[in-house]
Amino acid sequence: MTWLIWRQHRTEVCVLGLLVGMFGIALLVLGTQAHDLFPGGPARCAGEAGINEACAASFRRLDEEYGYVENLLAAFYLVPVVIGAFLGAPLLARELEDGTWQLAWTQAVPRMRWLAAKLAALAGVTVTLTGMFTAVLTWFRQPFDAWEGRFQYDAFDLEGLVPVAYALFAFGVATAAGAILRRSLPAFGVAFGAFLAARMPVALLARPAYATPLTTMEPVPVGGSKDQAGHRPVPSFADWMIEHGYADATGRRLSWTEYYELEGAANRAGTNLNQFLHARGIQQFGVYHPADRFWTFQLIEAALFVAVAAVLILTGCTNLAAIRDFASASAESAQYTKLVRDYVETPTRIVRYVPADQQASWEAIAAQLMLALHRSGRSAEALAVFRRTRDRFVAEGRTLASLQNAPGIVRVFDFLEANGTGCTNESSRTIRPCG
């Protein structure tokens, strides 16, 4: 089963692995050069851009030489989505497109076990590739994080746990869409669009509400330029500022219209804006999330996207019409295979011909089987199962013979019916008699 899953999806895995490897090598080379700008390491200069002259010089060089790379990385948050959608879209859709589901889901291996194995394998590949890409990207961004903090949108969406969650979300959407649409390319497009539609509301509305933000309030300082009042009251550069503005002496927040009216009054009076506001008891306020909430927010958002992905995958699998239509076929095939293995001491499987030189004729095997079943009091039931599964086997042989170019399935060179049963020749060897 593992071999067949690899045969079916090796192209996607190899292409994605190659792309991730190329991106990773490029980021390692550029990241090494960017880290060398900080002799003591980027962490030493965190929050020191305007204080330490050596750190300030390093940050200036970082912006001049590698600022364009940071701008390009803003679009890299889509890479996990591409990985998840590229692997999830063909997971079910390809089986339906090629018609191989008629073979794969009617074998002795139960259909849900087959689907679970494919889901586990491809989800594992998704997590592995995305995790490797995120680890390299997180390391590359360390100098920029020391300058800007990790709560910036381009940093939060590229580092930590959320890229893996984004990939699994896209994987789940693509899998469910593939089961419904039965086409790989439309399923990929649906996954891509669904992520873009979900990300903006989550980033702008849900993320700030993961925890109650903190509020700081302080008087407008005296001094400064004539035209500029105060500064943003944030305890740390790495904190995430949600809102900032001005309030009167009672703590009532001023609208920006009221602030501009005060600014105009200060200009007409020809006084320093800071002094003008300070004299009237105006305060600055800031609403923010502290930097130490980064991993808490990462866990919350990752859990949100992973939960939605799990629901989508479950929905796609349980509502797959082909699974319901062939629910009985799989059970009958499994029962028939078990009967053969129990009562005929020879290795065999449904999709393999029976060489005459390895065992007795099929008529003798069938007679032996029926005799044993009769003695066990299940002859009627077993005979019904035998006939139904024989018919299924005949249909399966014809289906296999028609799928000569389908990847990941055995090639059938010929199919025939004789002696009350059917046989398929799965190799280039000479066809043996059936029975």
Contact indicator for 433, 356 with CB cutoff of 8 Å:
yes
Choice among 101-105, 194-198, 204-208, 215-219 with the minimum mean pLDDT: 101-105
201 and 219 assigned to the same domain: no
Determine the structural domain holding residue 280 and report its residue range: 214-292
- Six-digit token string for 342: 């129990």
Pick 427 or 100 by higher pLDDT: 100
Measured between alpha carbons, how far is 24 from 129 in angstroms, rounded to an integer? 11
157 and 8 assigned to the same domain: yes
The DSSP 8-state label assigned to residue 206 in this structure reads: I
Write the burial class of residue 35 (CB in 10 Å: 0-12 exposed, 13-18 middle, 19+ buried): middle
Pick 238 or 194 by higher pLDDT: 194
Measured between alpha carbons, how far is 273 from 423 in angstroms, rounded to an integer? 94
C-beta pairs of 251-260 under 8 Å, 24+ apart in sequence: 251/217, 251/283, 253/285, 254/282
pLDDT at 406 over 70: no
52 and 183 assigned to the same domain: yes
Backbone dihedral angles phi then psi of residue 421, each to the nearest 5 degrees: -140, -175
pLDDT at 200 over 70: yes
**pLDDT score recorded for residue 182:** 81
Candidate ranges 124-133, 150-159, 268-277, 359-368; pick with highest mean pLDDT? 124-133
Q: What is the pLDDT of residues 18-37, one digit of tens each?
A: 988 998 898 899 888 888 88
19 located within any domain? yes
Say which amino acid occupies 367: A
- Six-digit token string for 268: 């007409």
Pick 297 or 59 by higher pLDDT: 297
Q: What is the pLDDT of residues 179-189, one digit of tens each?
A: 888 888 888 99
Measured between alpha carbons, how far is 262 from 266 in angstroms, rounded to an integer? 6
- Six-digit token string for 221: 């300082």
430 located within any domain? no
365 and 274 assigned to the same domain: no
Candidate ranges 48-62, 96-110, 274-288, 341-355; pick with highest mean pLDDT? 274-288
Q: What is the pLDDT of residues 381-397, one digit of tens each?
A: 656 666 677 677 677 76
284: closest CA among 224, 203, 361? 224
127 located within any domain? yes
Residues of the chain above pLDDT 70, percent: 65
**pLDDT score recorded for residue 428:** 38
435 located within any domain? no
Contact indicator for 243, 232 with CB cutoff of 8 Å:
no
283: closest CA among 253, 240, 263, 255? 253
64 and 37 assigned to the same domain: yes
**Model pTM above 0.75:** no
Measured between alpha carbons, how far is 378 from 372 in angstroms, rounded to an integer? 9
285 and 351 assigned to the same domain: no
pLDDT at 341 over 80: no
Q: What is the pLDDT of residues 216-247, one digit of tens each?
A: 888 888 765 444 444 555 567 788 888 888 98
pLDDT tier for residue 130 given thresholds of 50, 70 and 90: very high
132 and 246 assigned to the same domain: no
Helices 184-201 and 79-98, packing angle to 10 deg: 150
Distances (CA, A) of 412 to 104, 210, 256, 302, 311: 15, 57, 76, 46, 38
431 located within any domain? no
pLDDT at 192 over 60: yes
Of 249, 271, 292, which residue is a domain's last? 292
- Average pLDDT taken over every residue of the chain: 75
Measured between alpha carbons, how far is 237 from 309 in angstroms, rounded to an integer? 34
Contact indicator for 88, 173 with CB cutoff of 8 Å:
yes
87: closest CA among 134, 133, 132, 120? 120
pLDDT at 427 over 50: no
Q: Are strands 414-418 and 214-219 parallel, antiparallel or unpaired?
A: unpaired
**pLDDT score recorded for residue 433:** 40
Q: What is the pLDDT of residues 98-123, one digit of tens each?
A: 666 666 666 666 667 777 778 888 88
**pLDDT score recorded for residue 412:** 60
**pLDDT score recorded for residue 171:** 93
4: closest CA among 137, 105, 134? 105
Domain count for the chain: 3
99 and 118 assigned to the same domain: yes
Backbone dihedral angles phi then psi of residue 76, each to the nearest 5 degrees: -75, -10
167 and 73 assigned to the same domain: yes
Angle at 418 between CA 416 and CA 419, to 5 degrees: 160
- Six-digit token string for 4: 């067949």
Candidate ranges 82-91, 260-269, 291-300; pick with highest mean pLDDT? 291-300
b/e sequence 352-372, b meaning 16+ C-beta within 10 Å: ebbeeeeeeebeebbeebeeb
150 and 270 assigned to the same domain: no
27 and 167 assigned to the same domain: yes
pLDDT at 336 over 70: no
pLDDT at 350 over 50: no
Helix (H) or strand (E) holding 237: none
Helices within 202-355 (DSSP H only): 256-269, 273-279, 294-318, 321-325, 327-343
246 and 123 assigned to the same domain: no
